[in-house]
Structure 1
Amino acid sequence: MFDKLLKPLCYIKIYHPEKRWFDYYLPLILSIIICAVLYYLPVPVVFVGKDSLISVVNGILQILSGFYIASMAAVATFNKAGMDDPMSGQPPTLYGKPLTRRNFLTYLFGYLAFMSIFMYFAGGFVQLAGKSILQIAAEFHELTKYIFVAVYMVFICNILTTTALGMHFLIDRVHRGGSKFVD
């Protein structure tokens, strides 16, 4: 049962050396930069509540989750030669097997849909429990707040960088012609 519920997370298990940049390194770098900017702003940014960071991000996640589901459906039914062939160059692999472009993009957009819905509900919970969270956080050092914001931003930046990867494939790679034999 859990295997079926968590199937979109198989995207994380896909191996390709360049993919690590989109999944881990870039989101981490971006979240550190964002948190540093937020920390040093002269007027503090509100993280929880009305017109807060989480409310703005949740507004965007509402839109993106539908886009990801529509993209996944489009990729699954996209009728173009080469979509079901193994990807050229060093193809990404899942459990040691090379993926087709259709497989890869379906996993990618399934993961993005799952993560955007998950982060939407996580943000919603934080919004609803904001006063309690702020009371608990007040007992800890001020830096603790930024650690939680950094973790949140790593997930959000992961969604953004993975979205950029998906857009690259939809804009460029899907429509690029491969080499063909000429008789």
Structure 2
Amino acid sequence: MMESIEKTAFLRSLNYLRVSHGYALRYNWIYPLFLGAATALGILQLVTATSLFDADGFVRSFTPVLSILAPFYIAALAAVATFSGNQSVDKPFSMSQPVLLKVIGDGGDWENIDVTPRHFLSLLFGYCTSLSIFLLLISIFAPFIAKLAETVSCDWAWLLLSTVFVIFAVLLSQLILGTLLGVYFLADRIHRA
């Protein structure tokens, strides 16, 4: 899996999830999983899974916001990549644990590289861009997803749609928390030497 991500240009934005640090598991998976699953399960107690995917349903209501977010993340990525402020953005993080990314080196072997704040923010906003596009596609095609679930398995459509909604909510939570993490780094952390 890691090798296919590393060798496929379209999957390289997923490299953000491969950054290793003591906080990575919490911020990338535990907090979004808890927040997204709790929210989704709460919403599923109030409405049916099928109604969430209707043309005027909850999932479809995210289309305008998500269509704005993708260009925003691309602009943020361009700004971070060309930022010429404090020189500490191009030095490895000065933290108790190193922030590392495992990549395929020139010789074809796996090696760990130290991630700089600029590289971290580029990976983060690249991932947020891809994630927002993926969520946008789910929100646009929500009515078709509902129809497909009912066609494939009428008896289990509610379970399929509930599962898709929980995944949507977890990924949306990951997007929100990733955005807040990026804002924290741009607003505060990047200015500290």
Structure 1 44/165 Cα, relative in aligned 2: closer, same or farther at 3 Å? Answer: same
- The question of whether the paired residues in 1 share the 8 Å contact of 2:80 and 2:118 is answered with yes
Q: What is the aligned partner in structure 2 of residue 5 from structure 1?
A: 10
Instruction: Quote how far apart the aligned CAs of 1:53 are.
Output: 1.7
Instruction: Quote how far apart the aligned CAs of 1:101 are.
Output: 0.6
Q: What is the aligned partner in structure 2 of residue 181 from structure 1?
A: none
Instruction: Quote how far apart the aligned CAs of 1:98 are.
Output: 1.1
Structure 1 113/105 Cα, relative in aligned 2: closer, same or farther at 3 Å? Answer: same
Equivalences for 1:149-164 in 2 at 5 Å?
149-164=165-180
TM-score under structure 1 normalisation? 0.86
SS of structure 2 residue aligned to 1:108:
helix
Structure 1 58/36 Cα, relative in aligned 2: closer, same or farther at 3 Å? Answer: same
- Of stretches 103-112 and 145-154 in structure 1, the one that deviates more from structure 2 is 145-154
- The question of whether the paired residues in 2 share the 8 Å contact of 1:126 and 1:133 is answered with no
Asked if residue 47 in structure 1 is aligned to residue 52 in structure 2, the reply is yes
Alignment counterpart, residue 23 of structure 2, candidates 18, 26, 41:
18
> Which whole-Å CA distance do the structure 2 matches of 1:58 and 1:84 have between them?
36
Q: What is the aligned partner in structure 2 of residue 32 from structure 1?
A: 37
- The question of whether the paired residues in 1 share the 8 Å contact of 2:53 and 2:145 is answered with no
Asked if residue 85 in structure 1 is aligned to residue 101 in structure 2, the reply is no
Alignment counterpart, residue 138 of structure 2, candidates 122, 140, 144:
122
Letter in 2 for 1:114: S
Superposition RMSD in Å: 2.1
Structure 1 55/165 Cα, relative in aligned 2: closer, same or farther at 3 Å? Answer: same
> Which whole-Å CA distance do the structure 1 matches of 2:134 and 2:158 have between them?
27
TM-score under structure 2 normalisation? 0.82
Letter in 2 for 1:108: L
Letter in 2 for 1:110: G
Structure 1 8/70 Cα, relative in aligned 2: closer, same or farther at 3 Å? Answer: same
> Which whole-Å CA distance do the structure 1 matches of 2:17 and 2:71 have between them?
21
SS of structure 1 residue aligned to 2:33:
helix
- The question of whether the paired residues in 1 share the 8 Å contact of 2:53 and 2:142 is answered with yes
Alignment counterpart, residue 70 of structure 1, candidates 60, 68, 75:
75
Q: What is the aligned partner in structure 1 of residue 101 from structure 2?
A: 94
> Which whole-Å CA distance do the structure 2 matches of 1:28 and 1:129 have between them?
22
Instruction: Give every structure 1 segment of 4 or more consecutive aligned residues whose post-TM-superposition deviation is greater than 6 Å.
Output: none
Instruction: Quote how far apart the aligned CAs of 1:151 are.
Output: 1.6
Identity %: 30
The number of residues matched between the two structures is 176
